Amino acid sequence: MTNLRSRLHGLWLPLVTPFHDGELDDASLRRLVRHYAALPVNGMILTATTGEGLTLAPQETARLVAIVRDELTSSGKDLPVCLGLSGSDTRALLDTLRRTAAWPIDGYLISCPYYSRPTQDGMIRHFRALADQAAHPVLIYNIPYRTGVNLGNEAMLQLADHHNIVGLKDCCADRAQFIELLRRRPARFAVLTGEDAQTWDALADGADGAILASAHIETGAFASVVKLLAAGDRDGALIHWRTISDLTKLLFSEPSPAPIKYWLWRTGLIDSPELRLPMTEVSSELAARLDRDIAARTSATAPAPAGAHCQ
């Protein structure tokens, strides 16, 4: 496994979990991993929100992780892989950490406890307890519009000093909070944005990278935005961002990952757009919009016919 702390930058992909007839679709999963292993992706997150992790049985999660690692090894791609975890029972999550300690992963992405809405002190104690026992480094996932509670900067900075807490996926939706954290964070505590539509702002503000569901599509353009902004080339990055900024809105116009799965199915990367309840497939209206965008982007990137030349 890799030194995760040194790899928390660039573009990370929160991989979808393909299903077919109610079961984990191993063949489509292998196809996905081979596809993205050949693209400029810096890491993968498995079984988090985009991966519908809450719908997976423990044995399915274990099989998914094994398949992903096997395909990455076969592809010769040394990509770090983090396992997404969530829950509001600290003891249950500690059991999960013990059960997955020997899995071929590089770290965990653990969301704030949902529904129970603990205090800031409760979340500090929760994450410290997990990080104390975790066999792999921990990234915190702060997404208050899903969990119902925001991990504030004072609490975050206390957790950032823990030797086994290495970074944050930030979806706090508060730019002032985000900028303050970037200013005050300790060295080697990575901050990656997870807000697809606000990627440009977050990277321009100083984020180390991005974990973006939208990057399943136009992966190279997203990677170029991240890389060029990190290098200080705002003009070059803006050229790429203008080609994908509307895509981030389209792919979240209905609950994710349904639009992404539809796109991947229509372009042949997965065999079905299936999701598990309570998530449902895209509406017919959105399907038509996605089909139009797929056709337009396919046409824009298609090679010129043989014999074509400029006049």
Output the known binding site: 50, 211
Tell me how far the alpha carbon of residue 85 is from its chain's centroid.
13
Q: Which helix (H) or strand (E) holds 77?
A: none
> 10 in the Ramachandran plot: left (φ > 0), alpha (ψ -120 to 50) or beta?
left
Contact 137, 104 (CB under 8 A): no
Could you tell me where the beta strands, DSSP code E, fall in the chain? 10-14, 19-20, 23-24, 43-46, 81-85, 107-111, 138-142, 165-170, 190-193, 209-211
Q: What six digits make up the tokens of 169?
A: 């996926």
Q: Which residue has tokens 């569901």?
A: 213
The 3 state secondary structure assigned to 232-296 is CCHHHHHHHHHHHHHHHHHCCCCCCCHHHHHHHHHCCCCCCCCCCCCCCCCCHHHHHHHHHHHHH
SS3 breakdown of the chain: % helix, strand, coil, rounded to 5?
50, 15, 40
Domains of the chain in sequence order: 4-242 (3.20.20.70)
pLDDT in tens, 151-186: 999 999 999 999 999 999 999 989 999 999 999 999
Which residues belong to the annotated binding site for pyruvate?
50, 211
Q: Kind of pairing, strands 43-46 and 209-211? A: unpaired
264, 16 contact by CB (below 8 A): yes
DSSP secondary structure letter of residue 53: G
Structural element, H or E, at residue 199: helix 199-205
What residue ranges of the chain have pLDDT lower than 70? 1-2, 301-311
**Sequence-separated (6 or more) residues with CB below 8 Å from residue 162:** 127, 128, 131
Catalytic sites, residue numbers: 141, 169
